[in-house]
Structure formats: C-alpha cells, structure tokens
Amino acid sequence: MSDFTMTIDGNSIAGEHSFGVINPASGAVFAQAPECSRAQLDAAMDAAARAFRSWKQDVGARRAALVACADAIKERIGELAPILTQEQGKPLARATEELIGAAVWLQYTASLAIPLEVVQDDAKVRIEVRRRPYGVVGAITPWNFPVLLGVWKIAPALLAGNTLVLKPSPYTPLSTLKLGEILRDALPAGVLNVVSGNDQLGAWITAHPAVRKVSFTGSVATGKKVAAACAPDLKRMTLELGGNDAAIVLDDVDPQQVAEKLFWGAFANTGQICGAIKRLYVPERLEQPIVAALAAIAKGVKVGDGMQSDTQLGPLNNKMQFDRVNELVADAKKAGGRCVTGGAPRPGAGYFIPPTLVTGLAEGSRLVDEEQFGPALPIVTYRDVADAVARANGTMYGLSGSVWSSNLARATEVAGQLECGTAWVNQHLAIVPNAPFGGAKWSGIGVENGPWGLLGFTELQTVNIAKDPA
Ligand code: NAD
C-alpha cells in the first residue's frame, strides 16, 4: 500500500500496485508511491477532457485559482520540504527555496495577460488574432526540481485554459503527489490530475489520444522519443532538455571575485541542474589562481544528508546517476585529467560524490563532451577568446552559457556569440519567471516562462469578421 495517493478527477486515488522510493542519502527505500494503471490513466485523461469544457470559459476564475494554488503551497511548505529533501536529496533549505519559487511562479503567471490582437478594424472587416487553449496537456518532469518544474507547466497551462495530466519522475514522485493533494481544494475536479509510475507511464501519456500538447522536461535521449511519439498524432510539444553549458572566463577577471559564483553555478543542487556550468573555459594565464580559488571553496563545502541543517550539498539523486558520474570521472582520469578535489565517491551508504574539479582535459574526453549532470567540473584552458567561443559552441547542446569579465560591454558582446537559449554575463543560473528559458539545438524545442512560455500553451485563431452581411 502506498503512503501517497494520486489525484484523479479531484479524488485521492491509490494504486493497484506500488513502487519503492529511495532516499539517496541512505540508498534505502523510505516510502511507497502508487503505480498508475492504464485504466487509471484513461480515467485521468477523461477527467481532464471533461473539466476542459468549463475551465476554458473564465480566465478570471483561472487567475484566482492560480493565486489560491500559490497560497496553498506557501501554507504547506513545512510539510512538503522534508518530502522533497528525502526523495531528491537536496538540503532542506534548498527544498524550501524550490517551494517558495513554485509559489512565486504561480503568482507571477496569474498576472499575465492572454493577448487578443486586432490587426485590422475598418468599415468592412475586423480581424482578431486570438489565443485558444489546446485542451488536455500531458506534462512529464525529471527528478532534479520536481515541484518547481511541475509548476512551470501547471501555471501557464492552466492560465491559458488547458487542463493537465502530470507525471513526475519515478525517482521523485512523492512531492508532486503531495502537491496534487494540496491543490485539490484550490482547483475544480479534473483540472489538475497527478499520476505516478515508471517510464512506461510517460510513454502512455505521450501516445494518449486525449492529449493535444505534451510539455516535457528531461534528457535529450527521452526528448527524442517523446518527439517521435507525438509525431503520428501531430501533438504539439515543448521539450526542455539537457545541456552542456560552457562558462567562459575572460582574462580580465579577479579570480577571487568570481570564484564563489562560478562554484555554485556548477555545483548547486550537486550539479544536477540542466543549465549548470558543465564546462569551465579559463585563459591559460588564469588557470592556476582560478583552480586554487575554486578548490578552496570545494574543500570547505559540507556534503551530507539534506535533512542535517549544516549540509550544503546533498547526494546524487539516484544510483544510475551516481554510477554515471563516477564512470565519467574514472574516464577523465584515464584521459589524463587530474582531480584537484574530490575524484572518488564517499565510502558508505548513500550516493555521495564530493565536488570534483578536474584539470588537464580538452574536447574529446567524455567529461567535457557529455552532460555529466553531477558534481564533476572540467576546467579547460584556452588561448584566444574566439577559440573558446568556437569550442563552447562546438556541441549539439545549446541550453545556456555565461561569460565573465570586468568589462561588461566586452562580456556582453561575447555572450551574444554563444549558440544557446540563455546567455548570462557575470552570473549563471539566474533563471527568472519573466524571461523565456529554453534550449537551442538538441537542448529543446519551445520555451518556458514569461509571456512566451504562456503562449506555448495556446494556439492562434484568426477571427475575420465581415461587417457588411451583403
Ligand atoms: P529522463 O529523460 O530520464 O526522464 C524525464 C521524465 O521522462 C521522467 O518522468 C521519466 O519517467 C519520463 N520518461 C522516460 N522515458 C519516457 C518515454 N519514453 N516517454 C515519455 N516519458 C518518459 O530525465 P531525468 O534523468 O529524469 O532528468 C535529467 C535530465 O533532464 C538531464 O538531461 C537534464 O539536463 C534535463 N533537464 C532539463 C531541464 C530544462 O529545463 N531544459 C530542466 C531539468 C532537467
């Protein structure tokens, strides 16, 4: 019997079967989640399709409902945060921040306008360009920020007038199931359905005939499967996929000044952020002082169970990711890389890897070329900026990137040359509700956040009115 229930048609629904959820700090199962059956998914889709008929009618009611959702989350943060920490691994303070972020995103999105543009209005015709919701949205999320990334879909999809069936990752289903429970009173039945299960459930959602739009966040490999699954039915989709973000440090920085921000740009959430710094390009001349400054921070960081109040970095979320990062670090060593800090998992229970800084690598080694999605950062040297930009762009990833300099104009000019969805200057991971976030190339299709993310949950309708019936 699972400890958490799904939300289907406003009701609390148990699974016929359940699956164990592991606490990555111990490696042991600590709770059970319901396994959604095919019939239960069909019931969720039916409920969403029925709820759509009235939900799409009244934007004012939808706006008010989103504000009520934000309030409901704020009231229950004390209950949600430990669930998030135990299933995801992040420190409790960071889990709390994720939940506050979820409330902020809901509040902000509630204030957005759904545009109605009049492109012509004269004696003969009036032409309006309207935005219509799609209907049922299938939403699928990964395990690094389950609640926030779920809300990035819930808020704009619902404001636009769609209804939703949301499936979290099997590694972190509990906080999203709890979110569904918390939002039951704030939303009409069927508007938000939360189901949990393994990858097969995701595949059922993307192939389900009731779904008109898929909003997916996850890896490039799965994103391509989602795109293929959407194609036969011409479902619309937004894909937020992986990245291999480069940060390029220019030769005029003070290493001491930038080290702290660079470190957390790479290692926040134990490196498990789509847009984290995954390759650090430094001028040869500055390699030694930058590495020394980063190493000093790495050595002082407290790695541990997120439930302990002094923990700054938690474990990797799951065994597969833990094994993958260890494999990439082992490969880096074989390729001639030197681990200045870390370099080996912490002995004992749990999926802990201390922050690992690796020098002596270049393109062609796996740690530089692949998305590590974990706490191992290659620091790569360059001689001229044009070369660094070319190497940063020499990948099929294109999520984000950053340029660091004491000369803002120069850094901004270089940032503009990066082939990615978001280019930061003197910062990294500054992700905000009011600007679009999405990937170039294999890092995604479409964007989330801001008015642009909202419009991704709508389709255009031209209404062309002849004023003279004759
Ligand atoms: P994943 O692709 O393995 O899984 C993501 C979700 O897809 C899970 O809910 C999973 O159950 C589901 N899924 C798996 N197979 C499916 C299928 N065939 N059809 C439909 N759904 C399926 O990704 P993950 O390991 O959970 O997350 C890590 C990845 O997500 C990283 O690559 C990271 O960069 C990326 N990510 C991207 C963003 C962004 O906004 N661009 C944000 C966070 C994470």
Average pLDDT over residues 115-124: 97
421-447 pLDDT per residue, tens: 999 999 999 999 999 999 999 999 999
234 and 372 share one domain: no
252 and 180 share one domain: no
For a mutational test of ligand 1's pocket, the pick from 194, 217, 233, 245, i.e. the residue with the most ligand atoms closer than 8 A to its C-beta, is 217
Residue 170 CA: nearest ligand 1 atom is: 11
Q: State the pairing for strand pair 192-194/163-167.
A: parallel
149-187 pLDDT per residue, tens: 999 999 999 999 999 999 999 999 999 999 999 999 999
- Domain final residue, candidates 241, 256, 287: 241
List residues near ligand 1 (CB under 6 A).
Answer: 140-144, 149, 167, 169-170, 199, 202-203, 206, 217-219, 222, 225-226, 240-243, 274, 371, 373, 399, 439, 444
* Residue 403 in this model has a pLDDT that exceeds 90: yes
* Residue 91 in this model has a pLDDT that exceeds 80: yes
Counted domains in the chain: 2
- Domain final residue, candidates 241, 269, 295: 241
Residue 321 CA: nearest ligand 1 atom is: 25
Q: Which residues are catalytic?
A: 240, 274
On whether residue 438 sits in a domain, the answer given is no
233 and 266 share one domain: no
341-390 pLDDT per residue, tens: 999 999 999 999 999 999 999 999 999 999 999 999 999 999 999 999 99
What distance in angstroms lies between residue 223's CA and the mean position of ligand 1's atoms?
A: 7
Look up the domain containing 334 and give its range. Answer: 245-433
Crossing angle, helix 59-75 and helix 77-88, to 10 degrees?
A: 70
Please give the backbone phi and psi of residue 98, each rounded to the nearest 5 degrees, phi first.
Answer: -60, -40
Whose CA is closest to 454, among 114, 51, 58?
114
What distance in angstroms lies between residue 242's CA and the mean position of ligand 1's atoms?
A: 8
162 and 270 share one domain: no
On whether residue 366 sits in a domain, the answer given is yes
On whether residue 463 sits in a domain, the answer given is no
Residue 439 CA: nearest ligand 1 atom is: 41
Cβ atoms of residues 150 and 168 within 8 Å: yes
117 and 251 share one domain: no
190 and 249 share one domain: no
| 131/104 Cα distance (integer angstroms) | 24
How much is the pLDDT for 149? 98
Cβ atoms of residues 145 and 173 within 8 Å: no
**What tokens were used for 369?**
């070329």
What distance in angstroms lies between residue 320's CA and the mean position of ligand 1's atoms?
A: 13
Residue 142 CA: nearest ligand 1 atom is: 26
On whether residue 468 sits in a domain, the answer given is no
On whether residue 443 sits in a domain, the answer given is no
Give nearest CA residue, ligand 1 atom 8.
169
What distance in angstroms lies between residue 220's CA and the mean position of ligand 1's atoms?
A: 8
197 and 256 share one domain: no
Cβ atoms of residues 372 and 328 within 8 Å: yes
266 and 231 share one domain: no
What share of the chain in percent tops pLDDT 90?
A: 99
What distance in angstroms lies between residue 381's CA and the mean position of ligand 1's atoms?
A: 31
How much is the pLDDT for 401? 98
Per-residue CA distances from 333 to 42, 133, 392 (Å): 49, 51, 22
309: domain CATH number?
3.40.309.10
On whether residue 466 sits in a domain, the answer given is no
pLDDT-derived band at 3, boundaries 50, 70, 90: confident
207: domain CATH number?
3.40.605.10
Q: Give SS3 for 239.
A: strand
104 and 193 share one domain: yes
Average pLDDT over residues 311-332: 98
* Residue 117 in this model has a pLDDT that exceeds 80: yes
- Sign of torsion over alpha carbons 55, 60, 63, 64: negative
266 and 368 share one domain: yes
Please give the backbone phi and psi of residue 83, each rounded to the nearest 5 degrees, phi first.
Answer: -65, -45
The residue length of the chain stands at 470
Average pLDDT over residues 206-216: 98
273 and 192 share one domain: no
* Residue 1 in this model has a pLDDT that exceeds 60: no
Q: How many other C-beta atoms are found inside a 10 Å radius of the C-beta of residue 208? A: 20
| 47/41 Cα distance (integer angstroms) | 10
123-143 pLDDT per residue, tens: 999 999 999 999 999 999 999
280 and 376 share one domain: yes
On whether residue 323 sits in a domain, the answer given is yes
For a mutational test of ligand 1's pocket, the pick from 165, 196, 222, i.e. the residue with the most ligand atoms closer than 8 A to its C-beta, is 222
How much is the pLDDT for 2? 62
On whether residue 454 sits in a domain, the answer given is no
- Domain final residue, candidates 202, 221, 241: 241
